[in-house]
Amino acid sequence: MPQLTGKEIGPIGFGLMGLTWRDKPCSQEQAFETMRAALKNGCNFWNGGEFYGPREYNSLVLLERYFEKYPEDADKVVISIKGGMDPKTFRADGSPTGMRRTMDDSMAQLKGRKKIELFESARRDQTVPIETTFNVLKSEYIETGKLGGISLSEVRAETIHEAVKHAKIEAVEVELSLFSTEPLENGVAAACAQYGIPLIAYSPIGRGMLTGQIKKIEDLQDSMLRSYPRFQPGNFEINLQLVEQVEEMARKKGCTPAQLAINWTRALSRRPGMPTIIPIPGATTVERVEENSKLVDLSDEEMAQLDATLAKFTPAGERYPAHVPVHT
């Protein structure tokens, strides 16, 4: 079993973003049922964000209410929280003042019901030396027992190589899926392997695209995604071609397209030079959690088949709109 901050976690984690950062979030009751199902199915690594939803109902508020109702679950779950963004400008703020604000606000929202095992700045602040950011986290939060450890988010390989000189990096979170294989090619996965750092794969089902449930743009439940390049008319239709091939392979395998996509990221871990990879698909229903948490073993032959499929396919459109920083 993988470990984070010395605690065992399941091979598949759980992304909380969709529970609060949606046009119309599901009810709190439904969110709680989904979270309990995640834990029941072995997905005890939960990934949320200070800005995943409005201040009055973000991941931390949801977690606080959940652990108020189910205090016995607090020690069973390992949570990672993204923050480090200026709440007014939504730009990365790695300054000492910014770090204190994001950490103090996050802990205040949890009301002492749960310790934050991992904290990660959602994007690296290019204007602040990374050691300045880390020194605040280490001396004021980790060494005082308020925080378990430091993770990185949406970074390039050079940032990982620099970061390990200044702090123990517990995990690196980047987008990794059959649609987004850049970490396998740009040195990020190799850097994680070099330092023994687990790689957390967010959006392993391509923001829902690889479930096979999205056949036309109107099927997108989240209006925010409609501004993303890969979901624009012209690009969308091209990207459906990969989905169709994944669906066909899943039928032959006897699993769902989402299960194939999620377990492909896991299977990469066994390749030479790869780190432990932990996918964190999101879900808003018990049914979807149960589907996403199923472990499916992919043979070397099946992985080679997926390699061949990917070699012939280039996703149309970038991962994010131009104004969103990536590879920081």
The answer to whether residue 303 is domain-embedded is no
pLDDT at residue 174 is higher than 90: yes
User: What distances in angstroms separate CA 289 from CA 21, 210, 213, 282, 298, one per listed residue?
Assistant: 18, 15, 15, 8, 20
The answer to whether residue 133 is domain-embedded is yes
Q: What is the pLDDT of residue 212?
A: 86
CA distance 179 to 197: 23
Q: What is the pLDDT of residue 147?
A: 98
CA distance 143 to 151: 16
pLDDT by residue (tens digit) across 43-101?
A: 999 999 999 999 999 999 999 999 999 999 999 999 999 999 998 898 999 999 999 99
pLDDT, greater one: 313 or 217: 313
Task: Provide the domain count of the chain.
Answer: 1
CA distance 74 to 324: 33
Average pLDDT over residues 249-254: 96
DSSP helix/strand/coil, 288: helix
In angstroms, the first-to-last Cα distance of the chain is 30
What percent of the chain stands above pLDDT 90?
90
- For the annotated catalytic residues, the residue numbers are 52
The answer to whether residue 215 is domain-embedded is no
Q: What is the pLDDT of residue 88?
A: 86
pLDDT at residue 208 is higher than 80: yes
The pTM score is 0.96
Q: What is the pLDDT of residue 104?
A: 98
Q: What is the pLDDT of residue 137?
A: 98
The answer to whether residue 8 is domain-embedded is yes
The answer to whether residue 285 is domain-embedded is yes
pLDDT at residue 199 is higher than 80: yes
pLDDT, greater one: 223 or 307: 307
Which residue, among 120, 39, 133, has the nearest Cα to 81 in the 3D structure?
A: 120
Which residue, among 142, 50, 47, has the nearest Cα to 105 in the 3D structure?
A: 50
Average pLDDT over residues 169-196: 97
Residue type, 75: D
CA distance 104 to 134: 15
Q: How many Cα neighbours within 13 Å face the side chain of 207?
A: 22
pLDDT by residue (tens digit) across 263-318?
A: 999 999 999 999 999 999 999 999 999 999 999 999 999 999 999 999 999 999 89
Domain containing residue 155: CATH number: 3.20.20.100
The residue behind tokens 């131009």 is 322
Could you list the residue range(s) of the whole structural domain that residue 181 is in? 3-208+259-298
The answer to whether residue 67 is domain-embedded is yes
The answer to whether residue 64 is domain-embedded is yes
Give 99's contacts (C-beta < 8 A, 6+ positions apart). 84, 93, 133, 136, 137
User: Would you give the distance in Å from CA 167 to the centre of its chain?
Assistant: 21
The answer to whether residue 248 is domain-embedded is no
Average pLDDT over residues 175-196: 97
Average pLDDT over residues 183-188: 97
The residue behind tokens 């959690």 is 289
